[in-house]
Structure 1
Amino acid sequence: MKRRDFLFAAAMLAPAMRQASAQQPAPKKRLAVIGAAKVEDMRIGREPNSSTFLEELQRLGYVEGGNLIVDRWQLQPGRLEEIAREVVDTRPDVIACQGTPMTLRLKAATTTIPIVAATGDPIRFGLVSNLARPGGNVTGVSVDAGIEVWAKRLELLSSAVPKLHNVVFVSSEGAWTGAGGQAVRDAAQKLGISLVRGIVSSPYGEAEFRSAFSSLQRDQLDGLILSDEGQVHVPRKPLLVQLIQQMRLPAIYPYTVFVEAGGLMSYASDVESVIHRQVAQIVEIFRGANPGDIPYSQAVRFDLVVNLKTAKELGLEMPAALVAAATTVIE
């Protein structure tokens, strides 16, 4: 073929080649999700938070089975390092996870894969050094707003229970000795409350929770506060509420689901808004943003939920001002 004829043919083929290239589908994004729910329940129509998460991804243009691949892992407190390695080895585009302990393990396992987390105070726990510009590969949403949230929970419990003196803090050993436990102890000291250890050991199953509660001196306690370790407590929600009811202790929880299951009261961030912000950050990264440039959000809305039915069963007269201040009252 003569050079002139070759150039003519190439010029004729170029538009068709560009059109074919334009029609090539964009590569699917791969998202690794680590949550407290069972893997089989992390789907639309099963577990509520998972439904909200996946539906928000769909609303923003990322549909599982279409342009999105979702790999799922259940949080297992005794296997955090192992799970972190497994997830990183799959090389996802983004890792979405719940809980400060899991996020710390992931941060240690990779400095390149973007991590979008829902955690406690990220500065206090050493996840980032700056909220506005986190740097590195970790961003997310803080479900508390610093130690004042713990102080607020104890203040609310002391408002509900006259002459509150001895409160047990139910948590893992790591939460008791770490920054979270120190924050609770500081808040208790300011309120003149004696804080009692209620340590639950790994693997945080039914036997471990029953053992922890059986060791408590019930007649010396007049209140209970639960740590915000969702990966430890949420999977055992019915058992925890049952054990606390058996002890007939007024308790405040960091998650509304416990009050809906029969607990007395909770002071918690609005879970739906946290999920929406986390998904928005994931989508920003899918579209090319650097996680280190995405501000680490803090929850701005906290809901006080009070269960008056449980209060009545405990023989507790909830102050009218406290009930009036509640976002939701369960009769």
Structure 2
Amino acid sequence: MKQRPLFAFLQLVIVAISIIGAAVSLRPAPAQASEKLWRIGFLSLTTRDSFHDAFFKGLRDLGYVEGRNFVLETRVAAVNERRLKEAAAQLAKLRLDVIVARGTQATQAAKKATTTIPIIMTGSSDPVGTGLVASLARPGGNVTGMSILAPDLAQKRLELLRRVLPRAARVGVLWNPTNAGNLNEWKQTGAAARALKIELVSREVRQPKDIFRAFRPLTLQNVDAVLTLTDALLSSGRTEIVQLATNNRLPGIFHLRDFVEQGGLMSYGPDLHNSFYRAAHYVDRVLKGEDPAHIPVEQPKEFELAISLRTAKQIGIIVPNEILAMANKIIR
């Protein structure tokens, strides 16, 4: 009987230890190591627009959330070549995991600024011809990504224009000779025009203020239509270009659907929103360890024709039904 107090005491100790053990087991587990914070650079000649938004949507769909698992370093050159080079140099000095470059000029600037940081290009019309990559299948350096290269694109644009305007004989072309990608596109457009017996009137646009200056002679030289080549500067000036074309009752075929949405007559070209969206997948592959030198450049798979019947009526153009049947988007 004298052992009962000791026995009772031992029972209490065992119960206390059990309670403490249970409390410890219920304590939250130590926090996991924080998710890696990737550093992504974004280089563009023009300000943010719907194409940039498509890229960021692609990142979100892949699980990348700004501030949680990546930080963004954006540099915009305000359509200025000198600022573009400076912006690329700034990004190259940062400890970035990847740089996304919009267009040929931005990609060239980024490549000149760094040979070590992976670069994902978007919207480059001739990555091989401009020296950005060794080949589409094996880029061979620190650049890969999305190309908008389509060898027969210039011919298709002029053919569409001719089918809408059978008597079109002279077409004014707005293009940027400082964009290396435009040089090859201009040659292709020239070859297509010769085959269709169309005379091209070259109007160079090297900076935003050149747009008005380029249009003025077109109205005096009796051109039948206007065409734009693929260029970020021209894309950023689409509101002014469309307004000038409409004011002068000039039909136009443009390289982006956005021109038509703002009042242009027609556009035909790759779906650039999809191209920018797909660029996010290239970023994901590089961040997961793939070497850009071995990631093939992706060419456009989808092309879209957009037509504004509202503009056609305004400038007195009748778009044939067979062309309307081909359109991906019609603005009425």
For Structure 1 versus Structure 2, the TM-score category normalised by the shorter chain is: 0.7 to 0.9
For residue 37 of structure 1, report the CA deviation from its aligned partner.
5.0
User: TM-score, normalised to structure 1's length?
Assistant: 0.85
User: TM-score, normalised to structure 2's length?
Assistant: 0.85
Candidates 200, 207, 213, aligned match of 1:211: 213
Give aligned pairs, total: 300
Distance 1:28 1:208 in 2: 42
Distance 2:35 2:110 in 1: 28
**Structure 2 gap segments, 5+ residues each:** 1-28
Candidates 97, 102, 116, aligned match of 1:112: 116
The 3-state SS of whatever aligns with 1:95 is strand
Q: Does 1:54 align with 2:47?
A: no
Distance 2:227 2:292 in 1: 34
Candidates 166, 187, 195, aligned match of 2:192: 187
The 3-state SS of whatever aligns with 2:218 is coil
**Structure 1 gap segments, 5+ residues each:** 1-18
Conserved 8 A contact 1:98-1:117:
yes
For residue 329 of structure 1, report the CA deviation from its aligned partner.
1.2
- What is the match of residue 255 of structure 1? 256
Deviations 1:261-303 (A, max 9, x none): 0000001212332122210000010111111111100001100
Distance 1:127 1:191 in 2: 32
Match runs of 1:24-173 below 5 Å? 24-35=33-44, 38=47, 42=48, 47-75=49-77, 76-79=79-82, 80-118=84-122, 119-146=124-151, 148-173=152-177
Q: Which runs of 4+ in 1 moved over 4 A?
A: none
- Aligned CA distance change for structure 1 residues 327 and 275 (closer, same or farther; 3 Å): same
Distance 1:297 1:29 in 2: 24
Deviations 1:122-159 (A, max 9, x none): 2232221221221110001112323x111111111111
For residue 175 of structure 1, report the CA deviation from its aligned partner.
4.7
Conserved 8 A contact 1:117-1:140:
yes
Deviations 1:60-99 (A, max 9, x none): 1211011101011224243232222122122311111111
Deviations 1:20-71 (A, max 9, x none): 8x93224311111123553xxx4xxxx4333332222122121101110101
